[in-house]
């Protein structure tokens, strides 16, 4: 089936009455799927990251399922009207991107359709998790985000909803809301989509000039350096457990004049699992500190190593379990976020 622009619907009544053409061909060799409605929620200005979400949704629900992409610039998520006005609106292009990626419908309601009585007096509270990191930098943002996600879940009535892991704190809060409030929907996180140079795909990237973009690459470089440092440290610790490396062996090699072997033995002997969080933070911060001296400089908002369940900081003595290393910074007038999942205690 030739890709075409998705069908544009503006009201919940139109969406409820919509019956898509079911002649979409399933990709050759595609896995077993389920005929359901999937939703991908966006604020428009669709890029390859959104396309990846839509493609994943299509693969999950199959040719017989329905994929709905919402495009709604939610005023409750913006602290300043200038930021709301600056947010790009590209609906015609969004329809083409969504259709090419496999969406049936783009549901682009008006503010009056979503908030018919004006700004809602009753809203979803993000709770303590919503006050950390992004919530501390943007007070009220997550309350507004959860409120509109709850409304859009009611309006679109999906069986499964897809969100990018790039907005890891948002994803965690949506999962918590769905669990706490018994929403009958499955929430699926999709891996962060990146540009070829490593920069996480974002509608905000278009605001970066070439010099700012060069500086902005420090965010992903810092995350990758931290991941590599953790992997190296855990590999050394695994070697220490299997080879029984000791400081004494390192000293013996030094006396024999085997400087390189002695240095390796000493690194293995000193590898400690409890040093992981500190090493991860240090590796990332070194790159971010260098970027602060670039022109234009990177202005760090936060670098945080957190528990994915509640986004509290992970202590330096953590030896096992999952974590998220998250970073936010401004380059020029553009604020960017990124993160990477990590697992402490892994040996492979």
pLDDT single digits (tens) 185-230: 999 999 999 999 999 999 899 999 999 999 999 999 999 999 999 9
Tokens (6 digits) for 140: 């009220």
- Bond from prior residue into 262 cis (ω within 30 degrees of 0): no
| Alpha-carbon span 314 to 307, nearest angstrom | 6
- What are the structure tokens assigned to 87, written together? 């947010």
∠ CA 175-154-115, rounded to 5°: 110
CB 42 within 8 A of CB 90: no
Which pLDDT does position 343 carry in this prediction? 94
Q: Over the stretch 91-104, which tens digit does the pLDDT of each residue have? A: 999 999 999 999 99
Q: Which of 119-123, 245-249, 332-336 has the lowest mean pLDDT?
A: 245-249
Residue 106, SS3? strand
Dihedral angle of Cα 111, 113, 118, 122, to the nearest 10 degrees: -110
Question: What are the helix (H) ranges across 181-291?
Answer: 210-216, 218-243, 247-255, 259-270, 276-291
For residue 50, indicate whether it is catalytic: yes
Residue 83 is predicted with a pLDDT of 77
Cβ-based neighbours of 174, under 8 Å, separated by 6 or more:
146, 149, 161, 163, 187
3-state SS assignment for residue 302: strand
Instruction: Give the number of other CB atoms < 10 A from CB of residue 283.
Output: 21
Q: Is 174's pLDDT higher than 80?
A: yes
CA–CA dist 344, 241 (Å, integer): 16
Q: What are phi and psi of 296, to 5 degrees?
A: -75, 155
Q: Which of 132, 192, 202 is nearest to 341 (CA)?
A: 192
Percentage of the chain lying above the pLDDT 70 cut: 82
d(CA 153, CA 51) in angstroms, rounded, equals 20
Q: Angle, to 10 degrees, between the axis of helix 276-291 and the axis of helix 218-243?
A: 150
* Chain mean position to CA 286: 23
pLDDT digits (tens, 9 = 90+) for 22-41: 555 555 555 556 669 999 99
The residue annotated as part of the active site, out of 50, 211, 214, 237, is 50
For the chain, what is the mean pLDDT? 88
Helix (H, G, I), strand (E, B) or coil at 196: coil
Q: In whole angstroms, give the CA distance from residue 260 to residue 262.
A: 5
User: Distance (Å, rounded) from C-alpha 149 to C-alpha 70?
Assistant: 10
Count of CA atoms in the C-beta half-sphere (13 A) of 252? 6
β-partners of residue 41 are 70
Helix H or strand E segment including 331: strand 321-331
Could you tell me where the DSSP H helices lie in 116-217? 134-137, 141-156, 168-180, 210-216
With a cut of 50, say whether residue 150 has pLDDT above it. yes
Among residues 327, 325, 87, the alpha carbon closest in space to that of 216 is found at 327
CA nearest neighbour of 177 among 127, 121, 137: 127
């Amino acid at each position: 089936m030739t890709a075409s622009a998705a069908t544009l619907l503006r009201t919940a009544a139109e969406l409820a009455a919509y019956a898509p053409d079911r002649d979409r061909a399933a990709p050759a060799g595609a896995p077993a799927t389920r005929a359901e409605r999937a939703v991908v929620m966006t604020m428009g200005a669709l890029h390859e990251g959104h396309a990846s979400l839509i493609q994943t949704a299509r693969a999950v629900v199959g040719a017989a399922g329905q994929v709905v992409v919402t495009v709604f610039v939610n005023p409750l998520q913006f602290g300043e009207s200038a930021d709301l006005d600056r947010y790009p609106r590209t609906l015609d292009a969004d329809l083409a991107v969504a259709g090419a990626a496999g969406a049936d419908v783009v549901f682009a309601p008006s503010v009056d359709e979503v908030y018919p009585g004006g700004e809602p007096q009753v809203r979803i509270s993000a709770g303590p998790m919503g006050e950390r990191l992004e919530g501390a930098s943007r007070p009220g943002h997550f309350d507004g985000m959860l409120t509109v996600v709850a409304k859009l879940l009611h309006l679109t009535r999906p069986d499964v909803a897809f969100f990018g892991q790039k907005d890891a704190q948002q994803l965690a809060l949506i999962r918590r809301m769905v669990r706490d409030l018994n929403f009958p929907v499955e929430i699926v996180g999709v891996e962060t989509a990146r540009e070829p140079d490593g920069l996480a795909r974002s509608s905000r990237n278009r605001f970066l000039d070439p010099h700012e973009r060069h500086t902005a690459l420090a965010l992903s470089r810092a995350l990758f350096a931290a991941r590599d440092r953790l992997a190296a440290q855990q590999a050394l610790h695994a070697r220490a457990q299997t080879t029984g490396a000791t400081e004494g062996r390192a000293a013996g090699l030094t006396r024999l004049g085997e400087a390189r072997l002695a240095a390796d033995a000493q690194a293995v002997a000193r590898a400690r699992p409890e040093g992981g969080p500190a090493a991860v933070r240090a590796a990332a911060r070194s790159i971010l500190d260098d970027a602060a001296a670039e022109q234009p400089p990177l202005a760090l908002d936060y670098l945080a190593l957190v528990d994915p369940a509640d986004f509290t900081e992970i202590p330096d003595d953590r030896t096992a379990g999952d974590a998220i290393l998250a970073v936010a910074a401004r380059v020029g007038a553009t604020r960017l976020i990124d993160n990477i999942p990590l697992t402490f205690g892994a040996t492979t």
